[in-house]
Amino acid sequence: MPLAGRFVLAFSPRERAWSTDRGWNPFGFRILPARAGVVLGRSNHGHKHRGSLPTQLLTVGPANLGRASRPAPGGRHGSEDNSKCDSTTRLPARNRCSAPFPSFGAPASGTRWVLDPVDGTANLTHDIPLTGISLALVADEDPLLGVIALPQLGRTYWAADGLGACRDGHPIRIAGPARLDEAMIAIGDYGAGPDTAVRNAAMLEIHAALAPRAQRIRMLGTAAADLALVADSAFGASITLGNRTWDMAAGAVIAREAGAHVTDLDGTDHTTASRCTIAAAPALIDDILGIVQHASTVTGFTGQEDLAC
């Protein structure tokens, strides 16, 4: 169900300053109904086009992380303050995404928006300046469109099925690395709670296998940043032994459209029903899958311990 031919994406730097009640729109991103002569890209005025653009636009993600007060540390399993912080960014974005937009017509059955208003809440809780805001359009089990804002870095990434990926309005495409010993590898968080022992054992096995082979390993604490930075060629791969849709759907589209291989544990194409989320540069995918699958075999990890949602 590709978006190409039905929608195009446009970015305007001015939209970063768009406000409602002094709010902040970190996405600076709009979806336009496809019209003849409209192309994906950017000009000095924010979007590139030939001919007239529609006057009605859907602004995606007027999320307001800047107005959210930093929650007090609430343990590894979150807190009421964390929920309040999420709500500060979730509600404006939900209202905008659910507003009537006649140019699109009725939404297709099974199509939904999936929002993670603060990806990296533990980072925010502890005043670590790296979080993401992640929004995806999903049809059945297939993410079709993804937008990720990394507000502390001042970056916005987006992509749509068949339309490629962009960072701040400029197309991006994976450009290496060619070898694992040249690659920075991102790994997702260890699990917390009583049912995560097998998953954590598999992660330890992955760390042990990668440490002598990869250039460096990083754990950023936000899946949105991990996947966006794979798309941006900063990371050679991202490994997450889980697949929460709100964490992964947007980043999976962006990484895939930038040229990454995005797969499940068994190497099949990634969907919202996948057990794991593995994204890698084309030259690294076989090595990365081999390491993760070996860790799964020796520890008994199957992915069912952390089911997709």
In tens, the pLDDT along 80-104 reads 445 555 555 555 555 555 554 444 4
Q: How far apart are CA 103 and CA 81, in angstroms?
A: 38
pLDDT at 142 over 60: yes
Q: Which residue has the higher pLDDT, 162 or 103?
A: 162
DSSP H helices, the chain, are 80-98, 121-125, 197-210, 223-231, 245-257, 285-299
- What mean pLDDT comes out for the span 242-263? 97
- What mean pLDDT comes out for the span 187-216? 95
> Percent of the chain having pLDDT more than 90?
59
Query: In degrees, to the nearest 5, what angle opens at C-alpha 272 toward C-alphas 288 and 268?
Result: 40
pLDDT at 17 over 50: no
pLDDT at 29 over 50: no
Q: How far apart are CA 148 and CA 271, in angstroms?
A: 18
Tokens matching residue 244: 């929460």
pTM of the model: 0.75
Q: Tell me the HSE value of 1 on the side-chain side, using a 13 A CA sphere.
A: 13
Tens digits of residue pLDDT in 30-85? 444 333 222 233 323 333 332 222 222 223 333 344 444 444 545 444 444 455 55
- What mean pLDDT comes out for the span 250-257? 98
Q: Which residue has the higher pLDDT, 148 or 95?
A: 148
Give the pLDDT of residue 305.
Answer: 56
The three-state secondary structure class of 30 is strand
Give the pLDDT of residue 6.
Answer: 45
Give the pLDDT of residue 94.
Answer: 56
- What mean pLDDT comes out for the span 218-238? 98
pLDDT at 105 over 70: no
pLDDT interval class at 304 (50, 70, 90): confident
Give the pLDDT of residue 292.
Answer: 98
Give the pLDDT of residue 190.
Answer: 94
Strand pairing partners for 137?
113, 145
pLDDT at 176 over 90: no
pLDDT at 254 over 70: yes
- How many CB atoms neighbour CB 252 within 10 A? 31
pLDDT at 162 over 90: yes
Q: Which residue has the higher pLDDT, 19 or 135?
A: 135
Give the pLDDT of residue 243.
Answer: 95
**What b/e sequence results for 210-242 when a residue is b if at least 16 CB atoms lie within 10 Å of its CB, and e otherwise?**
beeebeebbebbbbbbbbbbbbbbebbbbbbbb
What average pLDDT is seen over the chain? 75
Q: How far apart are CA 33 and CA 57, in angstroms?
A: 8
- How many CB atoms neighbour CB 84 within 10 A? 12
* Range picked from 7-16, 17-26, 86-95, 106-115 for highest mean pLDDT: 106-115
pLDDT at 239 over 50: yes
pLDDT at 256 over 70: yes
pLDDT interval class at 200 (50, 70, 90): very high
Nearest by Cα to 220 from 170, 150, 145: 150
